[in-house]
Amino acid sequence: MTTEKSKILVIGGTGYIGKFIVEGSAKSGHQTFALVREASLSDPAKGKMVQSFKDLGVTILNGDLSDKESLVKAIQHVDVVISTVGLSQLMNQLNIISAIKESGKHIKRFLPSEFGNDVDRTLATGPAKSEFAMKAEVRRAVEAEGVPYTYVINNCFDGYFLATLAQCETRLTSPPRDKVTIYGDGNAKAILNKEEDIAAYTMRAVDDPRTLNKTVYINPPKNIVSQNDVVALWESKIGKTLEKTYVSEEELLKKIPQSPHPLDLLLALNHAIFVKGDQTWFTIEPSFGVEASQLYPDVKYTSVDEYLSQFV
C-alpha cells in the first residue's frame, strides 16, 4: 500500500456530495484543492462553504469546466481528480478527460461524478435512465482515453432517501410521523449510506491499488434494506404505526412523464431503486468490482438504525 497520500483536486466541491468529499479529503490528510467558479464565491451560502474549506486547509482554485486552461492548470497541482458535478454538468466532464490528457501530468486516478447507482447495470427508465446514460458515456470516454479510474457507487444518500423514508420528492428534513408512500410492494432491497461515510470510503479507495480501474460499491451489510424494513424500523422507534399508501409500479410509471422536472427524475429514481431493486439485483464480480466495507472493515459506518435514531 502507498504510504504517501495523493494530492486531490475536487471539481464540483460546493455541490451536495462534493462538500462531503472536499471535507473528507482534507480531514484524512490529503493535500486538497477545490476548483470553484467565480459565481459560486458571490453566492452567500457557497461563499460560506468555500470559507469553511479554507479553514480546513483546502486550496481554492478559480476555474470552470468550460475553461480548459483553468482545468489544465488545476490538474497540474495534483495526482488524483475527483468530479462531483451535478446533472447539468455531467457531459462537461469530457473536458476534464481532455484536460487530464493535455496537462502532461501523470494523473494516478480520475473519479468521475458517479455517487449513485451503477449505470452499467441499471434497470432504470425515463429521466433516471437518461441521467445514467450520460454517466455511462463519460465512463466509456475515460476508458477509451486510457485514464486510470475508480467509479464509486454509493447507492442512496441518507440525507435524501433515509431522512425522508424515500419520500425525497417531499423535501422533508426528518422522517414523516403520520403517513408514508410505499413504492411497489415495498420489498425491493436498496442500499442507504451516510454522506460522511461515502467520503471516508472514497478517500480510502483513491490510493488503493485494489480499486484501480474498478468499480467500488459501498454496500455495508446493515444498510441493505427495503422500504418496508425502514418504515417498520422507524415505527418501532416512534412507537406509532404510519398510514401507508401503496403506489403500484403501473401508477408510478404513469406519473413519471406527467410530472414536472425535477419531480419526474425523483420518481424515476424511486421506481428504479424501490420497485426494481436497481442497486441489489446483480452480484459484484471481482472482474469489475470490489465492495468497500469488505476492503476497509476498520471504517466505522453509520447503520440505517443508528441514522434514524437521531430523529427520535
* Residues catalogued as catalytic: 135
| Contact between residue 60 and residue 54 where contact means Cβ atoms under 8 Å apart | yes
For 33, half-sphere exposure in the C-beta direction (CA atoms, 13 angstrom radius) is 19
Residue indicated by cell numbers 422507524: 234
CA distance 114 to 24: 17
Residue type, 79: D
Residue indicated by cell numbers 403506489: 247
CA distance 55 to 78: 20
| Contact between residue 128 and residue 90 where contact means Cβ atoms under 8 Å apart | no
| Contact between residue 179 and residue 244 where contact means Cβ atoms under 8 Å apart | yes
| Contact between residue 140 and residue 181 where contact means Cβ atoms under 8 Å apart | no
β-pair partners for 33: 9, 59
